[in-house]
Amino acid sequence: MTGKAPKVETGDIRLAKLMASLRAQGVTNPAVTRAIESTPRDLFTPDLFQERVWEDSALPIACGQTLSQPFIVGLMTQALRLERRSRVLEIGTGSGYQTTILSKLSRLVYTIERYRTLMTAAELRFKQLDLTNIITKFGDGGLGWPEQAPFDRIMVTAAASDEPEILLGQLKPNGVLVAPIGKGPVQVLKRYTGDGHGGFAVESMTEVRFVPLLDGVAKDL
């Protein structure tokens, strides 16, 4: 007699396990967990890694970039303290996964990407998902988007080597900015909350690993 074949988990079961893991790690805001649960991560994942879609891990995408770990996506989104009327600036569109989640929780998302290849692919995904509150820009994210400032919230999805002064200058007086800060392979995720008078309360949240925030725009790959 041969033993029973191992039971293959469906996508729904794997998603449910992922959501339970995120909640256990502290991603408990109901609006954030609903946004993650309703976003088809497989749409943003390269074919080569489809079997790992619902793992709580970062995955490679084009241009040497990464699709962030779901826990980090949830943690950073939750840390922004989004409101439905928020105008959000995202630095680093990447695959568009984090952008999509932000779009479900805010009024408008302005997102900047330095790789045209990634931007074009993300725009197609936004269209496929019928997301109409995302405004994209191919450019240098470190410079922000001064023409559209000030923003209620800013999320940086690449590691700034130091305090992002230019981006903080584009934040509303009581706004919130969340970014990984540090020069090495491991950075500290920080939250800057405006005090209404030009100053910021700064909180160190956890250690993270992000690709560096680079100047300029990239050559097409």
215: three-class secondary structure by DSSP: coil
Do residues 56 and 22 make contact, with C-beta atoms less than 8 angstroms apart?
A: yes
Q: Phi and psi (nearest 5°) for 188?
A: -110, 125
Q: Would you call 106 a catalytic residue per the annotation?
A: no
Do residues 86 and 107 make contact, with C-beta atoms less than 8 angstroms apart?
A: yes
Query: Residue 29's closest CA among 89, 92, 85, 83?
Result: 83
**What is the rounded CA–CA span in Å between residue 52 and residue 50?**
5
Instruction: Please tell me which residue in 21, 57, 68, 95 is annotated as part of the active site.
Output: 68
The token duo for 33 is 């967990």
**Residue positions annotated with a catalytic role:** 68
